[in-house]
Amino acid sequence: MARWIVALLIAIVSLAALVDRVGATLARESIAAKSPYRFGFHVLADPRTINAFALPGGPVFITEGLLRQLKSEAELAGVLGHEIGHVIARHASEHLARARLTQGLIGAATVGTGDPTTAQIGQMVGSLINMRYGRDDELEADALGSRIMAQAGYDPRAMIGVMETLAQASSGSRQPEFFSTHPRPENRQARIREEIAKLKK
């Protein structure tokens, strides 16, 4: 096996061990420990994509691309804490339920009126409703992530650094916040600062 492949595999295994250790600390030393979920932390060997996400029940994923952008273990804790927050708040499950409801309403409107324009308007309204919930979910996960970090002994201010990384990664591809499922990173920074101030009281 070529040396560079071996080196790459060692690097990925090392990153996976780091992610697992930090994630396990967050899950064990915070409000997450009282939840019914079994958290698992995984690295996706994708060096180009900058992303992290969680699935219902506890699996949390972070890409190699995002990992390599982070500047400290505390920033990694911020990303993982945010994703744990999504799981605890049941955002994925709620989003799936909302999507099913929206599709059902659109189908009923189309059948009831027979008018394709009504269906198109219904789809647009349904999408906007679901996007709004998406933005609210992100802000709630930021707040929960900050609290989870602090409880596990990490400085929650590192979450602000994560937002700076995300802002740099999204430069050049920005769209109006209203039509995005994620609030702009700079807006999230302000809300994170507010949450950190509450934690100090």
pLDDT tens, residue order, the chain (201 aa): 455 554 555 566 688 899 999 999 999 999 999 999 999 999 988 888 888 888 888 889 998 889 988 999 999 999 999 999 989 987 554 455 445 544 544 454 444 445 555 455 555 544 544 444 477 788 888 999 999 999 999 999 999 998 888 777 766 554 433 344 556 767 788 888 888 888 876
Distance between CA 100 and CA 13 in Å, rounded? 38
Q: Computed over its alpha carbons, how large is the radius of gyration of the chain?
A: 19
Q: Which two three-digit tokens encode residue 126?
A: 């349904």
One-letter amino acid identity for 90? R
Distance between CA 28 and CA 32 in Å, rounded? 7
One-letter amino acid identity for 144? L
List Cα–Cα distances, 58 to 40, 81, 91, 115, in angstroms.
Answer: 6, 12, 12, 42
pTM attached to this predicted model: 0.72
Q: Report, as residue numbers or ranges, the catalytic residues.
A: 83
Residue 121 CB neighbour total at 10 angstroms: 13
Rounded to the nearest 5°, which phi and psi values hold at 179? -100, 25
Distance between CA 53 and CA 99 in Å, rounded? 18
* Mutual angle of helices 116-151 and 158-170, in 10-degree steps: 140
